Amino acid sequence: MGIILGVLEQGLIFGIMALGVYITYKILDFPDLTVDGSFPLGAAMSALLITHGVNPYLTLLISFAAGVLAGICTGLIHVKLKVRDLLSGIIMMTALYTINMVVAGKANVPLFSKETIFDNSFINNIFTGEMANFKTLIIVLILALACKFLLDAYLKTKSGFLLRAAGDNDVLVTSLAKDKGLVKIVGLAIANGLVALGGSVMAQQQRYFDISMGTGTIVIGLASVIIGISLLRGLTFLRSTTTVLIGSILYKACVAIALAKFPPTYMKLITAVLFLIILVISMQLKKKVKTND
Amino acid sequence: MIELKQIHKYYNPGTINEMCLFDNFDLTVRDGEFVSVVGSNGSGKTSLLNIICGSIRIERGQILMNGRDITREKEYKRMSHIGRVYQNPAMGTCPTMTILENMSLADNKGKLYLLGKGTDKKRKEYYRDQLSLLNLGLEDKLDVKVGSLSGGQRQAMALLMSTMTPIEFLILDEHTAALDPKTADTIMELTDKIVKEKNLTTIMVTHNLRFAVDYGNRLLMMHQGASVLDKSGSEKDRTQVDEILKLFNEISIECGN
């Protein structure tokens, strides 16, 4: 029971981050490695603010804003300085390592005995007795669904249409007399905002910030998106944003199953190998679809 | 009116592959003109369009749009006055978006793309009417993704989308070249109709000499970065395909191909 609960909680928290990766990887077609830095950026911001007694819910918003700034920087490097997409992300990811260290003050900040979005007098009054076991999951679920529905709504706005067009066919964006570079920057900003928000929730759930917590975020994000988009393609009645959240949970479940057989130090190796397996399976599926045509 | 003045365009400047395409090239396209541009490969037809739209830079010269100097203006800014249809039908539409979403995108050109609803339900009827003019049955497929349409259908949509909002100039870059002959005819007729209805100043690059002769009110033949034939008005009306073909063969032989 505890394991299932943990998988669902972790899956949904990383799901928020995966929604951001969905924007860059799937919609914008931009392999954005910034997320390895912006995920812990959200966590570092939260660590800083929470230790200074800032309202934990406000912390979520500020972390989102910090991620937006990181995304804008990656966008500016790519669009204005004409650096390739992959390299822009790598540059920002590396730079953010130091930024995160400066923001958090040190490499490891414990948040025990501090008020978080999961642990404050208001929440604790609502969830009493048996329910207390589920409060983290319920809060995370509300947050993840809120992000999903907001993103769905955004993608149906004029600005959202333009974002989808920029990933699909950026020539059309120019034909519509719009600056495709600006559209990309907006997309990266929203994406990294979501990633940082995920980082903030993560730090508050595990109750500490760690400088290395971002390593491999992109792999988890991509794995979730690919499971959601390719492997769950059959579930056509679900929106892509929903299948990405489910993909994230499934991925965490796979990692949990694998970790039951290996020591925890194997975590990143398992993360990577599982991602590779998912990637290969999704490519096989694509091939099958093509030969069926 | 579009004016190109003393345009110089080099490819690969400063390398041994340096190639001068335009050397003191001048062209004036007056309001209401529908110019068909023909010429062999590498004669500078598409470069001409790219220079007007701002897709490529020029080394020297001046580009004027209605008397305003736009030489340094970015491509996307110029496009607020220009509609462009490409040879590749995929360039004018978004494949993963539905017909309705594509039409809505195009319908908003010239306005801001903010957080308003992407599609306006009140405009649906208008989109249906416009699509029904194409006679392709697209008006009943509003929720179908454009990626699943045929090249001809996509090109028809691209043409419709690029001329949906008020523009002054229409740039057609071999927009019938990738289509089968019958579809090409349909698209060409549709083009002519839209150009006349909206009174668009049009430049059409084509390899189809019959289209070049039959449509438009001015004919331009390009060769090695210069115009070797420029006929308009009644002079153009008298021009026959054979005549153009003869001249075309002559310059091709000169070139050794």
Chain A residue with minimal CA distance to B158? A172
Q: Which residues in chain A have Cβ-Cβ distances shorter than 8 Å to B105?
A: 161-162, 165, 172, 176
Average of per-residue pLDDT across A108-131: 88
DSSP B116-182: SBSS-GGGHHHHHHHHHTTTSSGGG-TTSBGGGS-HHHHHHHHHHHHTSS--SEEEEESTTTTS-HH
- Percent of all residues in chain A with a pLDDT value above 90, rounded to a whole number: 77
Structural domain boundaries of chain A?
A: 2-214
Pairing of strands B218-223, B34-39: parallel
Average of per-residue pLDDT across A74-81: 97
Residue whose token pair is 């991602």: A275
* pLDDT of A1 over the 80 cut: no
Are A158 and B115 in contact (CB < 8 Å)? yes
**What token pair was written down for B225?**
């970065």
Q: Which of A60-64, A282-286, A288-292 has the lowest mean pLDDT?
A: A288-292
Are A157 and B117 in contact (CB < 8 Å)? yes
Three-state DSSP class for residue A114: coil
Three-state DSSP class for residue A287: helix
Q: What is the pLDDT of residues B108-127, one digit of tens each?
A: 998 989 998 888 888 999 99
Q: Count residue pairs from A and B with Cβ separation < 8 A.
A: 78
Q: What is the pLDDT of residues A235-265, one digit of tens each?
A: 878 899 999 999 999 999 999 998 888 888 8
Average of per-residue pLDDT across A167-179: 94
Chain A residue with minimal CA distance to B106? A176
Average of per-residue pLDDT across A82-111: 95
Q: Which backbone phi and psi does A104 adopt, to 5 degrees?
A: -80, -20
Give the confidence band of A293 by pLDDT, cuts at 50, 70, 90: very low
Q: Which residues in chain A have Cβ-Cβ distances shorter than 8 Å to B115?
A: 154, 157-159
* pLDDT of A290 over the 80 cut: no
**CB of A55 closer than 8 Å to CB of A261:** no
- Percent of all residues in chain B with a pLDDT value above 90, rounded to a whole number: 57
ipTM of the complex: 0.89
Query: Which is more confidently placed, A58 or A282?
Result: A58
pLDDT value for A237: 84
Q: How far is B118 from chain A (nearest CA, A)?
A: 4
Q: Which residues in chain B have Cβ-Cβ distances shorter than 8 Å to A236?
A: none
* pLDDT of B183 over the 60 cut: yes
pLDDT value for A291: 60
B 4-63 → A contacts, CB under 8 A: none
Q: Which residues contact A111 (CB under 8 A, 6 or more apart)?
A: A46, A47, A50, A51, A203, A204, A207, A208, A209
Are A157 and B116 in contact (CB < 8 Å)? yes
Average of per-residue pLDDT across A105-112: 93
Q: What is the pLDDT of residues B231-247, one digit of tens each?
A: 888 888 888 888 888 88
Q: How far is B108 from chain A (nearest CA, A)?
A: 8
pLDDT value for A5: 92
Are B94 and A168 in contact (CB < 8 Å)? yes
Q: Which residues in chain B have Cβ-Cβ distances shorter than 8 Å to A159?
A: 113-115
**CB of B212 closer than 8 Å to CB of B38:** yes
Q: How far is A13 from chain B (nearest CA, A)?
A: 27
pLDDT value for B257: 46
**Residue from the list A156, A165, A177 with its beta carbon closest to the beta carbon of B110:** A177
Q: How far is A209 from chain B (nearest CA, A)?
A: 35
**CB of A89 closer than 8 Å to CB of A191:** no
Q: What is the pLDDT of residues A179-210, one digit of tens each?
A: 999 999 999 999 999 999 999 999 999 999 99
pLDDT value for A57: 95
Q: What is the pLDDT of residues A16-59, one digit of tens each?
A: 999 999 999 999 999 999 999 999 999 999 999 999 999 999 99
Mean pLDDT over all residues of chain B? 89
Neighbours of A283 (CB within 10 A): 12
Query: Which is more confidently placed, A124 or A42?
Result: A42
Q: What is the pLDDT of residues B6-60, one digit of tens each?
A: 999 888 888 888 888 888 889 999 999 999 999 888 888 889 999 999 999 998 9
Chain B residue with minimal CA distance to A161? B118
Give the confidence band of B255 by pLDDT, cuts at 50, 70, 90: low
